[in-house]
């Protein structure tokens, strides 16, 4: 078994254990393999080991990799998880399946306008600055409901839920707090009538805490592909 295949299996085992611990089904948690800085050849290795959803952070690197793996188009789900500038929305709208880090209406409007006819709606999440950090990107929690309503009204996007990258915390209880807050915010959107189902939260270092608080998608890079250079 390749190192990547073995790592994938170990991460899946960890997800299953964390889900079980939380009284949730392991199938309720999607594993997104974060492949930023990882070559197309190594993504292919993960694909051959059964992985189907991949996350990219940089537009040019992402579209180059999608092109290099064109033979697998339709079999891979490509997620754009990095911050997105408004002058770079077009290739993302045209080539990706998901966008996780929407932080203003203008970006969402451009993605909707640029999504090609004939493709399914782009699946999107709003990035929330859940730890209220000055430096972090993402929308303040209080602004999420209005932005969510506006995005849900756009024709070529489907609002799926919320995403966050909390400030690092060492102990599990402290890690769980911001994830619980994101979950409460998603519940609030549901109660307002929006059909949202996705909590994109948890990375290699805080995956268990995120799953305990209801993550439906964890974004894992290092634990699958090793440390980035
Ligand atoms: C890099 C990255 C990840 C993966 O982080 P790891 O610590 O390598 O698991 C997840 N989400 C986002 C938004 C990232 O940029």
Q: Residue 134's pLDDT is what?
A: 74
Q: Give, in degrees to the nearest 5, the angle at Cα 17 between 13 and 21.
A: 170
pLDDT at 13 > cutoff 80: yes
Closest residue CA from atom 6 of ligand 1 = 221
- The minimum-distance atom of ligand 1 relative to the CA of 81 is 13
Q: Residue 228's pLDDT is what?
A: 86
Please give the distance, rounded to the nearest whole angstrom, from the Cα atom of residue 12 to the centre of ligand 1.
17
- The minimum-distance atom of ligand 1 relative to the CA of 165 is 13
Top-tier CATH class for 3-220: alpha beta
Quick check: CB of 220 below 6 Å from ligand 1? yes
With H, G, I as helix, E, B as strand and everything else as coil, classify residue 128: strand
Closest residue CA from atom 13 of ligand 1 = 81
Nearest to 139 by CA among 97, 107, 91: 107
Q: Give the mean pLDDT of 113-142.
A: 93
Per-residue pLDDT of 134-182, as tens digits, reads 777 899 999 999 999 999 999 999 999 999 999 999 899 999 999 999 9
pLDDT at 133 > cutoff 90: no
Q: What average pLDDT does the chain have?
A: 96
Which tokens hold the place of 216? 């439906």
Q: Domain locations in the chain?
A: 3-220
Q: Residue 125's pLDDT is what?
A: 98
Residue listed under structure tokens 């180059």: 64
Q: How many CA atoms lie within 13 A of 188 on its CB side?
A: 15
Q: How far is CA 57 from each of CA 21, 70, 98, 112, 117, rounded to the nearest angstrom?
A: 31, 19, 12, 20, 25
As a whole number of angstroms, the distance between CA 190 and CA 229 comes to 40
Quick check: CB of 203 below 6 Å from ligand 1? yes
Q: Residue 229's pLDDT is what?
A: 73
Q: How many CB atoms lie within 10 A of CB 125?
A: 26
Q: Residue 137's pLDDT is what?
A: 85
Quick check: CB of 164 below 6 Å from ligand 1? no
pLDDT-derived band at 28, boundaries 50, 70, 90: very high
């Amino acid at each position: 078994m390749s190192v990547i295949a073995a790592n994938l299996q170990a991460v899946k085992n960890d997800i299953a254990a964390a889900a079980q611990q939380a009284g949730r089904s392991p199938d309720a948690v999607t594993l997104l393999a974060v492949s930023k800085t990882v070559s197309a050849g190594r993504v292919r290795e993960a694909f051959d080991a059964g992985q189907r959803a991949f996350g990219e952070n940089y537009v040019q690197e992402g579209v180059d990799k999608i092109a290099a793996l064109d033979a697998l188009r339709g079999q891979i789900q490509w997620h754009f998880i990095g911050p997105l500038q408004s002058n770079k929305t077009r290739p993302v709208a045209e080539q990706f399946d998901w966008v996780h880090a929407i932080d203003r209406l203008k970006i969402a409007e451009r993605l909707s306008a640029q999504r090609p006819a004939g493709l399914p709606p782009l699946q999107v999440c709003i990035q929330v600055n859940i730890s209220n950090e000055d430096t972090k990107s993402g929308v303040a929690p209080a602004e999420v409901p209005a932005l969510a309503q506006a995005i849900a009204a756009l024709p070529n996007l489907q609002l799926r839920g919320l995403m966050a990258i909390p400030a690092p915390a060492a102990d599990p209880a402290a890690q769980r707090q911001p994830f619980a807050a994101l979950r409460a915010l998603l519940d609030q959107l549901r109660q307002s009538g929006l059909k949202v189902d996705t909590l994109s939260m948890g990375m290699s270092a805080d995956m268990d805490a995120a799953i305990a608080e209801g993550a439906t998608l964890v974004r894992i890079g290092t634990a699958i592909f090793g440390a980035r250079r």
